Chain A
Amino acid sequence: MSTLVSPAPAPAPQPAAAPKNYLNVAYGLKSWLLTTDHKRIAILYLVTISLMFILGGLAASLIRMELITPDGNLVEAQTYNQLFSAHGIIMVWFFLIPSIPTVMGNFVIPMMIGARDLAFPRLNLASWYIFVLGAAVVLWTILRGGVDTGWTFYPPYSTSSSYTNVIPVAAGILISGFSSILTGLNFVVTVHRMRAPGMTWFRLPLFIWSLYATSIILILATPVLAMVLLLVAVERITGFGIFDPALNGDPLLFQHLFWFYSHPAVYIMVLPAMGVVSEVFPCFARKNIFGYRFVAFASVAIAVFGFLVWGHHMFVAGQSAYAAMTFSVLSYLVAVPSAIKVFNWTATLYKGSIAFDAPMLYAIGFIAMFTMGGLTGLFLACLGLDIHVHDTYFVIAHFHFIMVGGMVMGYMSALHFWWPKMTGRKYPEGWGRLAALTIFFGFLMTFLPQFLLGYEGMPRRYYHYPPEFQVLNVMSSAGATILGAGYVLPLLYLLWSLKYGKPAGPNPWGATGLEWQTRSPPPTDNFEVTPTVTTEPYNYSQEEVPRGG
């Protein structure tokens, strides 16, 4: 703190005033909208994506309500199609993909590696503005009816049959893609160039490894999404045949390009959550992580293999049997590094000293959901089985286990873990645990029945359905109600804690990691003195880490 105060003995006015931190260093809208502080930008993202999560969640609620009865009777069929499209588009591109990287990554990456900010602070702010612009275009279009193509935009439906606003929504997604690319670029350069003295690659926290791998995917895959969306727009506007067979185009070309982005996008979503678990498990088990290098390289392996498995989305789409077999075997290989991670996390608990605070409950929830989601992914990678369950609720359940069960659990874990650092306040622990359990069981009740529905054959994107599917749909909708309540709880108590939470102190969890060695909330420059790193991460066993507060 001495660095912030002038060296001359200060006169009386602010003798006992708290040292300035990034939150109270300036007030007013302008100080937020023009900030280049990575921590403030993280808060801007937090507000933005929370809003998007609420909107996407509302769409999901309407979908689940409609599906309580076999007949369509809550909304029109067209409205239903627009609802599931809006749900997918908002959740994938405006919540899941940005969530952990832009909020948690922005906030903690510089602090974890002992830097004052990201490599390009102004670019970071620009990324947020681009993201908001993309989100605004999409929301504005959705208010005018949105699209009815699903989030996958398959032509020729999207290019020649749909009457909805395909081009504006595609434009919004395209714009937000630039934000992804710039954020990824910023993270990669930061990790390469901004590490504190002594912070070698193998002393990096695994969260950094995960986000580094994520950033590589963001940079390499997102341009392909931009291409494919542009081509859809070109075909719609000019009638030039690219994907529509009636114009001598090839609809499978679209699917190849789309999944070349969208399969790695799954790893964009889940790798950061894996990084969170790799932070939270050692902290709450008071153990170093088991097999650090294996966990680190598994992230890189997932990022690389993730680019080679896109064809498993197209097993029944008309690709050749040889292509199908190739993509199937590669899909089994990409499961191996994920399995390695799960086993290493489990082994980290061995002989630990485990505390079950909310971040740990969420992290354990992540492992449970991710394991189930990953194993059912093996069902879908299995050619003979995929034919039956492809495009059914089995697929819906599978990817919600990965994305909601896994990724959102990881996000909640991160939010609770770093909340004291971000705000300087503790959230109420009892409520936190209650919400974690509510979300866990609400989620299981929502999505387990959907596996059965899918194996029974209920196709996805069905507005009405044969009556024998009703029981399972009612169970799922009931679970969704519990899940929804589980999501409302954190919104309430986290906001409450901003004013009434107990002061957290610099290191409420007794965690290692540079971000815990500075104040909560941190000063604008993160550290009064640039830290020097002398040990590997997760050094929980060797010495007692002093608890602040």
Chain B
Amino acid sequence: MFAEISLFPEQASTAARRVDALLAFMLSVSTLICLLIFGLIIVFSIKYRRRPGNEHPPRIAGSNTLETIWTAIPTVVGLVMFVWGVEVYLYIVRPPQDAMEVYVVAKQWMWKIQHPEGQREINELHVPVGQPVKVTLTSEDVIHNFSVPAFRMKIDVLPNRYVQTWFQATKTGRYHLFCSQYCGVSHSGMVGTVVVMKPEQYQAWLTSHAEGSIALEGRKLFLKYQCVSCHSADSFARAPVLEGLYGHEVRLQDGRTVLADAAYIRKSIFNPDADIVAGFEPIMPSFQGQITEEELLKLIAFIKALGPGQTPKRIDQSLPPVAEPKAKQPAQPKPSQGGAPKPPARESPKPAFGAGPKPPANAGPRP
């Protein structure tokens, strides 16, 4: 009738051992405290129960010594728990530099996952064992939560923002992925599976699901949305050159400098007027509601991979500012991860905004 009884979750990541050790410590201390208090109450209850002869107990006002002891000890014990907790916390929230990356877009009620090499999955995440995996997450609608109990990891996934966490699986197998932040009627249906594979199996899986790298997909979008008509890296450029931008400081018109990271690129696409680069006019329209979260991740991957001389040339006829019919084979963006097939020879940009995705689900309240 029942599935196999399990009273303790699988220990399948490097964090899991640390969290469970911390749990063991907390449990031991708590059990000791419980035994002390409950033991005293039980002993007193038996020894000093009311019976003939003890109906007039002595008066005991209190004891400053005891008060000091039972103020100081809980404080010290609490601080030890705090420090150990911080240590484990910092381990869990700080991704190592060499981690491979995975992108996750949450929406009501599914997990959409993209690998840098372009493989896409829904409600499944394939990862290799023994390798740190950095997960970058965002949501298309409400707050979700990406949690894998076997890895002892959990993070709220917020709309309009990137959050990051990481894990390193230590055991192959299939593990639950839960949405742990209530997100509507099918909240409990927003579950998936993390499949941890041996590295060679993982490589095989990657190959069999290859679709073209995520940066390459981003390049297509760069053309499709006519980003290239202004960010053109040629004499007609009316917007900053994006080559080699990622990870560098950008000087803004108002004198600030900001780091060009994923959050900055996202903001610049959805809310271009927020940070105007020094020397440019605020002419860029917002693409909020036209570019989906998944497309945005591809664009970011493209910009991240974009090296000197790799900006595609404007190739077609229909662009409003300048018509430049020199259709040449565009330079290949050379994404950092390998395995990308050749770019399509001709990428004819469609009318940009026609086929745009629907705006996010939250179109307004309906009381």
Contacts and interface: CB of A to CB of B under 8 A. Distances in A.
B294 to A, nearest CB: 17
B206 interface: no
Q: Which applies to chain A's interface (DSSP): helix, strand, loop or mixed?
A: helix
A328 B180 contact: no
B98 interface: no
Contact of A384 (B19, B38, B179, B183): B19
Interface stretch (B86-94, B195-203, B256-264): B86-94
Contacts of B90: 321
Interface residues of B, number: 96
Interface in B299-336: none
B58 interface: yes
A58 to B, nearest CB: 22
A346 B40 contact: yes
A157 B143 CA distance: 7
Interface string A231-267: 0000111010000111010011000000000000000
Contacts, number: 311
A455 B9 contact: yes
A368 B92 CA distance: 33
A471 B9 CA distance: 14
Interface stretch (A290-298, A424-432, A497-505): A290-298
A372 B66 contact: no
A526 B163 CA distance: 61
A145 interface: no
A350 B48 contact: yes
B160 interface: yes
Contacts of A340: 67, 70-71, 74
Interface string B3-26: 111111100000000110011001
B6 A456 contact: yes
Given A316-B154, A461-B188, A349 B44 contact: yes
A77 interface: yes
A273 interface: no
B86 A371 contact: no
Nearest to A459: B180
Contact of B22 (A239, A317, A376, A384): A384
Contacts of A161: 108, 141-142, 184, 361-362
A351 B48 contact: yes
A471 B2 contact: yes
Contacts of A335: 74, 78
Contacts of B363: 160
Given A246-B160, A349-B45, A350-B44, A382 B361 contact: no
Interface stretch (A90-98, A111-119, A130-138, A385-393): A385-393
Interface in A64-96: 72, 77-78, 81
The 3 closest A-B pairs by CB, nearest first: A457-B149, A384-B88, A245-B160
22 contacts: A154-B181, A161-B184, A235-B365, A251-B159, A286-B50, A291-B61, A291-B66, A292-B61, A321-B90, A333-B75, A346-B41, A353-B56, A364-B45, A368-B41, A376-B30, A384-B85, A391-B154, A459-B147, A464-B188, A467-B2, A468-B6, A470-B3
Given A333-B75, A371-B34, A387-B152, 7 more contacts: A154-B143, A246-B360, A290-B63, A332-B79, A349-B48, A384-B89, A390-B154
Interface of A: 72, 77-78, 81, 148-150, 152, 154, 156-157, 159-163, 165-167, 235-237, 239, 244-246, 248, 251-252, 285-288, 290-294, 315-318, 321, 324-325, 328-329, 332-333, 335-336, 339-340, 342-344, 346-347, 349-356, 364, 367-368, 371-372, 375-376, 378-379, 381-388, 390-392, 452, 455-457, 459-468, 470-472, 540-542, 544
Interface of B: 2-9, 18-19, 22-23, 26, 30, 33-34, 37-38, 40-41, 44-45, 48-50, 54-63, 66-67, 70-71, 74-75, 78-79, 81-82, 84-93, 108, 141-143, 145, 147, 149-150, 152-156, 158-161, 163, 176, 178-189, 191, 271, 360-367
